[in-house]
């Protein structure tokens, strides 16, 4: 089948402002959208620029806005998007070139919530014990691949680029609800601030956008409750 991709392009070295370009390529219904982008790059226009690496939805490189929703180009199949597809860079991030956005601010927000296990006790000679139930409590957040699809889909981020955003909160949740962690108070203090969890308006775009199926909004709500009650053991 033939697929027409309408792609938002911008090269800061050449273009005063972004423009739309159209490309028609042959594709099979079970091809990934990423395959179609590669076909364009390799056979029609080598200047088309996007990130990609693992090509099966685990590295998080190729999040972009596909028919108006943030998706990974390697997880979307042609049969899911039809014969006409619109592809843009994610909103809420500065564009570097074509579909490539600046991820540095996103990673700085991730760093700001202390995304690492904080412990004060001496380490045991073997593993710390953790029951399967305790392990399950924070499982959802561990799936995050930091692709930015949730954060880039959030109207609160579009309105306020300084907001910490859903991805950082998901990763805070992953540690706040880890029975081994002792940094809950520090993280809840950070997320209780002006640009912390409270700018979430429960719009649910993030949950829709997550390619890993993480219930992002639910996790944000759990963090809100932990701040209100000052305790991670509240459900």
Residue choice 45, 162, 218, 231 for contact with other proteins (CB under 8 A): 45
Gyration radius (Cα) of the chain, Å: 20
What 3-state class would DSSP assign to 100? strand
Which residues have C-beta within 8 Å of that of residue 51, sequence separation ≥ 6?
61, 62, 99, 100
Under rule CB under 8 A, residue 233 binds other proteins: no
Q: Which of 4, 24, 49, 195 binds other proteins (CB under 8 A)?
A: 49
Binding residues for other proteins, how many (CB under 8 A)? 60
DSSP, res 5: E
**Residue 8 binds other proteins (CB under 8 A):** no
Q: Is 62 helix (H, G, I), strand (E, B) or coil?
A: coil
- Of 166, 169, 178, 188, the residue at the interface with other proteins (CB under 8 A) is 178
Instruction: Find the part of the chain contacting other proteins (CB under 8 A) among 138-146, 156-164, 194-202, 218-226.
Output: 138-146
Q: Is 156 or 172 the residue whose CB approaches other proteins more closely?
A: 172
Adjacent-strand bridge partners of 2: 26
Distance CA 195, CA 113 (A): 12
In the complex, least distance from residue 212 CB atom to other proteins, rounded to whole angstroms: 9
Minimal distance in Å, beta carbon 65 to other proteins? 18
CB 90 within 8 A of CB 65: yes
CA distance 148 to 60: 8
Nearest to 87 by CA among 208, 6, 2: 6
Is residue 145 a contact residue for other proteins (CB under 8 A)? yes
Residues that bind other proteins (CB under 8 A): 11-14, 30, 32, 41-43, 45-47, 49-61, 75, 77, 96-97, 100, 103-104, 107, 111, 114-117, 119, 123, 125-132, 134-135, 138-139, 142-143, 145-146, 175, 178, 180-181
């Amino acid at each position: 089948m033939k697929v027409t991709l309408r792609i938002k392009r911008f090269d800061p070295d050449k273009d005063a402002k972004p423009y739309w370009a159209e490309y028609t390529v042959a594709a099979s219904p079970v091809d990934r959208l990423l395959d179609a982008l590669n076909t364009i790059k390799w056979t029609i226009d080598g200047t088309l620029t996007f990130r990609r690496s693992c090509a099966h939805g685990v590295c998080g490189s190729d999040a972009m806005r596909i028919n108006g929703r943030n998706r990974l180009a390697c997880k979307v199949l042609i049969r899911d998007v039809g014969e006409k597809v619109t592809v843009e860079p994610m909103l809420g991030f500065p564009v570097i070139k074509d579909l490539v956005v600046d991820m540095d601010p996103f990673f700085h927000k991730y760093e700001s919530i202390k995304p690492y296990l904080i412990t004060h006790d001496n380490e045991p000679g073997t593993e710390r014990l953790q029951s399967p139930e305790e392990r399950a409590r924070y499982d959802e957040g561990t799936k995050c691949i930091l692709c930015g699809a949730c954060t880039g889909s959030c109207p609160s981020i579009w309105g306020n680029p300084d907001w910490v955003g859903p991805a950082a909160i998901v990763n805070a949740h992953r540690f706040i609800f880890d029975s081994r962690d002792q940094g809950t108070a520090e993280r809840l203090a950070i997320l209780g601030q002006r640009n912390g969890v409270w700018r979430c308006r429960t719009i649910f775009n993030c949950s829709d956008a997550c390619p890993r199926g993480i219930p992002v909004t639910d996790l944000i709500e759990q963090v809100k409750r932990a701040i209100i009650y000052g305790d991670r053991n509240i459900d």
